[in-house]
Structure formats: structure tokens, C-alpha cells
A and B are shown apart, each in its own frame.
Chain A
Amino acid sequence: MPQLEASVAIDFHSETYKDAYSRINAIVIEGEQEATQNYQKLAELLPDDHDQLLSLARMEGRHKKGFEACGRNLSVTPDMEFAREFFAQLHGNFQKAAAEGKVVTCLLIQALIIECFAIAAYNIYIPVADDFARKITEGVVKDEYSHLNYGEEWLKANFEASKAELEEANRQNLPLVWQMLNQVEQDAHVLGMEKEALVEDFMIQYGEALENIGFTTREIMRMSASGLAAA
């Protein structure tokens, strides 16, 4: 039986690490910033849940500040231009759906796809993070579960009416996630995060969310692998 290789110690202050961190940290900061705006937009679209959604938006704002501190702690300047470009397509799809009043698509993009991706990435990051970032990230990931839960509960309550739009929005947006992941595969590797583990954790989290909403195993297997082969 082959043996597990010992993991190599990470030098958080090496130039290679800090260079990769400047992009990954920026993505996280930009992701939290866009999440703040997305929940504010959802609060307008869903007046019944207005206050709850604004509270979720404020949490995302606090996460952003936490991750900015992680970058400062390693004396890294986040490459925000890279990050804005990184999210451009997904962000554009959210804004377009919001402008058309497509709440279900907006929830799928922000409350399911982005939250599941954040949870997967943060969970994979925690064991390989520096001590400062680990504490921040552990706090954040707990909040993100509650955000995911908001989307799940809303979509579960409106499952039949949302199902077709969810499937279509999944088809349009999930392939973007795989492409985004490919873009940062090398940087994530430098941080000790393996792409196949990220994909697996995302698919687990996303699959659980779809199951809670009401999809069958067969539908989940189809939806959560959508576009993966082509990526």
C-alpha cells in the first residue's frame, strides 16, 4: 500500500507565496464586496425579507474587512483589478438578472453558487492558512453557512415555481465557476489548496444545497457536474 507523503511546510513570507496571495486575497475581498452589493440588491427585490437581507449584506461587509486585514498582515497588496476581471462575467449575469427581476437566478448565483464556492474554498484554506488568517476565516465560514441557508430556505419554499429557472441559471452560470477555478489553479496550489479538492468540496456543498431545496439525486448529479467536463 503506498504511503501518504508528508505535507511540505508553507513559507507565508516567500515572494512566491505573497505573489499568489495578492490575487487570491483580492478575489476574496472582491467576492465579499460584491456579495454585500448583491444582498443589498436582493433586499430591494424581496421586500418581505428586506431587513434580513440587509443584515446578511452587513455581514459580508465585515468579512471583507477581515480579509483586508489578512492581506495587510502578510504585507500583501491585493490585485483588485485582477479580481474585478475575475468576477466580471458572474457579476454581469447577476446584474442582468436583477435588472430583469429574476430573483431565482440572483439567488442561485449569490446565495448558492458563490456561497458554496466560498464555503468550499474557506474550508480547504483553513488547514493551510497562516494563524492570523485561519482565525478570521474560521469565523467567516460559520456566517457563510447561514447565508447559504437563507437561499436554500427561500428556494425550497418556492421550489416548484423556481425549478425551471434554477436549472437554466445553473446551466448558464456553473460553467463560469469551473473556468474561474482554472484561472487560479496555480495560485491556489501555491497556497496549499488543490483544485480537485476545491471542486469536490464545492460539489458536495452545492449538492447538499440542491438536495435541501428539493432536487433528486439524479438531478443533483446532473446539475452539479454541468459544464465541468468542458472546463
Chain B
Amino acid sequence: MFGLIGHLTSLDHAQAVARDLGYPEYADQGLDFWCSAPPQIVDEIRVTSITGQTIEGRYVESCFLPEMLATRRIKAATRKIINAMAHAQKHGINITALGGFSSIIFENFNLEQIHQVRNVVLDFKRFTTGNTHTAYIIARQIEQAAPMMGINLSDATVAICGATGDIGSGICRWLNQRTDAKEMLLVARNQERLLALQDELGRGKILTLDEALPQADIIVWVASMPKGVEINPAELKQPCLLIDGGYPKNLGTKIQHPGVTVLNGGIVEHSLDIDWRIMNIVNMDVPARQLFACFAESMLLEFEKWHTNFSWGRNHITVEKMEQIGEVSVKHGFRPLLV
């Protein structure tokens, strides 16, 4: 069995979902309540591969909300993730993806130090960040969506915002080794990591966000931020392909400009309908078929019985691992969401 640990995008969203699902005890509550709320398995999932194989999974709602980070309730945020992991493990789930902010919180607050959660010893082999598949899918979105917009990669400048992150660095490696992208602009906050990445790639310009955006034909947004960022579309090139790999995905509603196309990044479409409710809740356009690539990674690991933390730690995503997960992604009928 596979698992998905997810969360909602805001307190308002959480209250609305609780109301829709018929949990009034949760719907009327403020942030304090959510800081004390336990993880719950709220969806049972069946996925069929185009090979005919069917697997079962569970969706674990961690009750984490991004407001917990914004209001510095860090202990609550970390408890949500650890408790959701313990919940998944206690329910016998073999491989669980840490969706949304879950893997970022796990990494940032060094939660691998926590092994014992009440009477559960966490087995980290049962969890994956799903980042390898996400990086693969975004890389394929760049390769496939650019020509559809008349952008030729060999003439294109690609800005990677969040380049030193786990997903961002994986995408950079792919662009470097597998494509003939003309120029890479590396944008991130930590200069030391940027220099290390530039050194590893042997190419790429280190620029600030403001410097990079007007130069880019393709912008890949994979920075992790609890709050959004303002981008002025008038300053972007035209045409410009903007791949929004953040969560929640809000660049598409903020940026509406002819010549700028916003594509939801790290989203896959399955070839067959998935029996679940949860993607309605996160407002996917086609809820029965579209999902986060990180979630799909746990499905792929379950299909292949690779019950191991395929994506773990930071900056370990190699092109070989992306190719490996990409191969089984195609095999089981997933494809990158396109424009």
C-alpha cells in the first residue's frame, strides 16, 4: 500500500474543506485548533496502471497549515509532519510521499533526528519526498511545452528560481546534461550553495530574481516560500513560459498577460481515472486524472515494489535517478501536464 501525506493551502481553505466533507467540529475552528489537531486518514485510493496492475493507497491529512510557519508556530508545524508519518507507518503503509511543505519542513528542521514518536520507531525507508519524480516531470514540461510556444530550447535562456533546492538542482542537472538549453540563470538566496552548484554544473549565471526574470524565455519557479511573490508580467519576455512548481499554485491567477503562459509545474496526468476524492479538494482542473508528481512517485514505487526512500535528503537527485523514475512513470501511464 502507498500513502500520501498532504495538507491544505490556508486556514480558510481548511475550514471550507472541513465544511464540505461534513466535519463541523473542524470547520469552525481557528489556527489554535489546527495546531492541536491530529493526523487523519481521510481518503482511500485505487490506482490502475496502463499495464493493468491495480494498487491501493491512503491519503493522510497532516493538519499542517502554511500559517503555522508564517506565525512562527514551528513546533506545531514539525509535530504535524512527524505525527502524520507515524500515523502512516502505524497503518502499515509501505511507501508514503511527503507532499507540499511536508518534505521541506522535514529537511529544514532536521526531523531525521527524531526516530521515536510515542511507541513508534520511525522507519525512514518507508517515506519519500517524491522530489525526483517532480524534478523529472518539470524537466519534461520544459522540454515539451517550450516548442509548443515557439520557444526553441537551444536558443532559450532558462531561469531556475530556487536553483539550489532539491528539485531545482535536479532540474539544473537535467538541463545541463540532457538538453542543449542555451543559457541557465541560477537564482537562490544562499550564495555559497549557488557557487557550489555553478561549480558542479560548470556553467550557469548567478543572478538576482529581478535581474534574471526579464532575460528569461522560460522561468522555472521551484522556490519554497510560505508566502507568494509578486512578478510583474510586463517586465517578462514575450513569449515567456512560466512553470509554477510552487505550492499552492497561484502564479496562474496572479499573472494574466498575453504572451506569458503559466503552466502548473510538477503536475502529472494519469491515463486512467483514479478513484479518490482528494484532488477535488486541491482544485485540480481534472481531479480524477491530475495529481502532484511527488504523490505519483509513491504510486510508482508501490507499482514497482521499490519500497524504499527513493528521494531523500537534499541535493541527491541525479539525472540517472530522474531517468529511472521517468521510465516507470511512462510505463504506468503518467505524463507531464502541458499547456
Which one of B22, B36, B118 contacts A203 once the chains associate, using CB atoms below 8 Å?
A: B36
Q: Is B38's CB under 8 angstroms from A196's CB?
A: no
Residues in A whose Cβ lies below 8 Å from that of B83: 200, 204
Using known A-B contacts A2-B72, A196-B35, A203-B36, determine if residue A221 contacts B79 with beta carbons closer than 8 Å.
no
Q: Is B40's CB under 8 angstroms from A1's CB?
A: no
Is A194 in contact with chain B by the CB < 8 A criterion?
Answer: yes
Residues in B whose Cβ lies below 8 Å from that of A4: 74-75, 78, 109
Residues in A whose Cβ lies below 8 Å from that of B118: 119, 123, 201, 204-205
Q: Mark B98-136, 1 if CB is under 8 A from A, else 0.
A: 000000100011000000001100000000000000000
Which one of A5, A199, A222 contacts B36 once the chains associate, using CB atoms below 8 Å?
A: A199
B26-34, B195-203, B291-299, B326-334 - the one binding chain A: B26-34
Q: Is A229's CB under 8 angstroms from B25's CB?
A: yes
Q: How far is the CA of A5 from the CA of B78 in the complex (A)?
A: 12
Q: Is B33's CB under 8 angstroms from A228's CB?
A: yes
Q: How far is the CA of A225 from the CA of B79 in the complex (A)?
A: 18
Minimal Cβ-Cβ distance residue in A for B70: A2
Using known A-B contacts A221-B23, A228-B33, determine if residue A204 contacts B38 with beta carbons closer than 8 Å.
yes
Using known A-B contacts A1-B224, A196-B32, A229-B33, determine if residue A204 contacts B87 with beta carbons closer than 8 Å.
yes
Q: How far is the CA of A220 from the CA of B40 in the complex (A)?
A: 9
Residues in A whose Cβ lies below 8 Å from that of B28: 229
Residues in B whose Cβ lies below 8 Å from that of A203: 36-38
Q: Is A208's CB under 8 angstroms from B26's CB?
A: no
Q: How far is the CA of A208 from the CA of B69 in the complex (A)?
A: 27
Interface size for A (C-beta < 8 A) is 30
Q: Is A217's CB under 8 angstroms from B38's CB?
A: no
Is A215 in contact with chain B by the CB < 8 A criterion?
Answer: no
Q: How far is the CA of A15 from the CA of B27 in the complex (A)?
A: 42
Q: Is B79's CB under 8 angstroms from A2's CB?
A: no
Q: Mark B258-278, 1 if CB is under 8 A from A, else 0.
A: 000000000000000000000
Residues in A whose Cβ lies below 8 Å from that of B108: 1
Q: How far is the CA of A222 from the CA of B22 in the complex (A)?
A: 10
Is A226 in contact with chain B by the CB < 8 A criterion?
Answer: yes
Which one of B22, B38, B109 contacts A218 once the chains associate, using CB atoms below 8 Å?
A: B22
Q: Is B224's CB under 8 angstroms from A225's CB?
A: no
Is B162 in contact with chain A by the CB < 8 A criterion?
Answer: no
Nearest Cβ on chain B to A217's Cβ, whole angstroms: 6
Is A150 in contact with chain B by the CB < 8 A criterion?
Answer: no
In the complex, which residues 159-215 of chain A have their Cβ closer than 8 Å to any Cβ of chain B? 194-197, 199-201, 203-205, 207-208
Q: Is A196's CB under 8 angstroms from B104's CB?
A: no
Is B42 in contact with chain A by the CB < 8 A criterion?
Answer: yes
Is B284 in contact with chain A by the CB < 8 A criterion?
Answer: no
Which one of A1, A199, A218, A229 contacts B23 once the chains associate, using CB atoms below 8 Å?
A: A218
Q: Mark A16-40, 1 if CB is under 8 A from B, else 0.
A: 0000000000000000000000000
Q: Is A2's CB under 8 angstroms from B69's CB?
A: yes
Q: How far is the CA of A199 from the CA of B22 in the complex (A)?
A: 22
In the complex, which residues 141-162 of chain B have their Cβ closer than 8 Å to any Cβ of chain A? none
Q: Is B119's CB under 8 angstroms from A196's CB?
A: no
Q: Is A200's CB under 8 angstroms from B79's CB?
A: yes
Is B90 in contact with chain A by the CB < 8 A criterion?
Answer: yes
- The interface of chain A, by Cβ under 8 A from chain B, is 1-5, 119, 123, 145, 194-197, 199-201, 203-205, 207-208, 217-218, 220-222, 224-226, 228-229
- The interface of chain B, by Cβ under 8 A from chain A, is 22-23, 25-26, 28-29, 32-33, 35-42, 69, 72, 74-76, 78-79, 83, 87, 90, 104, 108-109, 118-119, 224, 226
Inter-chain pairs besides A221-B23, A221-B26, 10 sampled, C-beta below 8 Å? A1-B104, A194-B75, A200-B36, A203-B36, A217-B41, A221-B25, A222-B25, A225-B37, A226-B25, A229-B25
